[in-house]
Amino acid sequence: MTEKVKILMLGEGAVGKSSLLSRYVDEKFSENIQATLGVEYRQKILIQGESQVTVQVWDTAGNQNSRGLGQERFRVITPIFYRNAQGVSLVYSVIDKNSFQQVQTWIDNLKEQIDCEQISIVLVANKCDIAQREVTTLEGQQLAQKYQIKYFECSARTGAQVKEMYTELVQQILVRRGQNQNSQNGEKIPKNIQIDGGETQPQKCC
């Protein structure tokens, strides 16, 4: 069985989206990561028994933000970026309160582009290796609870929770796909798929 999933990295500029992606795909942290220009995607292939999953993660322009000039550029790239997306990693930085406050704007942008019922989203608090935080764990957890999505405290620098975060998204996407296929076939029992252990049910936020 070969599956392909498409995941988007969303969030304010400089929160660490490209660093998280690089940590996941290259398994390293680069201090001088280049600002992303336009849109690019990276792939990682997961093999589990006889199954292969190609995880395609799309990253956005380095200096876009949910307001202002960057958004204009973002609008231009929007259609291909969102097309057939099945998962979103919505990232803020724990040392940047504004990036946390903009999470709602990112969800609103997303809703304009995509049917949120059909997409899996996780909330990512990045840069958790830094002690002086502007956003607490509780604030992050409460926001995730409001949207009914999973919350991960990550660090692209140390690698903490990065693989787990992507794995959760991949699992949710595959489970949702299995359920959609089952309902098309008239079956009522959802198919649960496991990757790296643990069972997952797809969640929805909006």
Q: Per CB under 5 A, does 36 bind Mg ion?
A: yes
Binding site partner of 33, from ligand GDP, Mg ion, none, Cβ cut-off 5-8 A by kind: ligand GDP
Give least dist CB 132 to ligand GDP, A: 11
Minimum Å distance from CB 156 to ligand GDP?
Answer: 4
Q: What is the H or E stretch that residue 10 is in?
A: strand 2-10
Would you call 47 exposed, middle or buried from its count of C-beta atoms within 10 A (0-12, 13-18, 19+)?
exposed
19 lies in the site for Mg ion, by CB under 5 A? no
| Closest-approach residue to ligand GDP (CB) | 16
Q: How far is CA 153 from CA 13, 133, 187, in A?
A: 18, 12, 37
Residues that bind ligand GDP (CB under 6 A): 13-19, 31, 33, 35-36, 62, 126-127, 129-130, 155-157
- Report what 13 binds from ligand GDP, Mg ion, none; CB cut-off 5-8 Å by kind: ligand GDP
Q: Which residues 6+ apart lie within 8 Å of 79 measured at CB?
A: none
Instruction: Indicate which single residue of 5, 7, 10, 18 sits in contact with Mg ion (rule: CB under 5 A).
Output: 18
As measured in angstroms, the least distance from the Cβ of 33 to Mg ion is 7
Residue length of the chain: 206
The secondary structure of 36-99 as a DSSP string is: P-S-EEEEEEEEETTEEEEEEEEE--TT--SSHHHHHHHHHHHHHHHTT--EEEEEEETT-HHH
Instruction: Name which position in 39, 44, 62, 163 contacts Mg ion (CB under 5 A).
Output: 62
* Interface contacts to Mg ion, rule CB under 5 A: 18, 36, 62
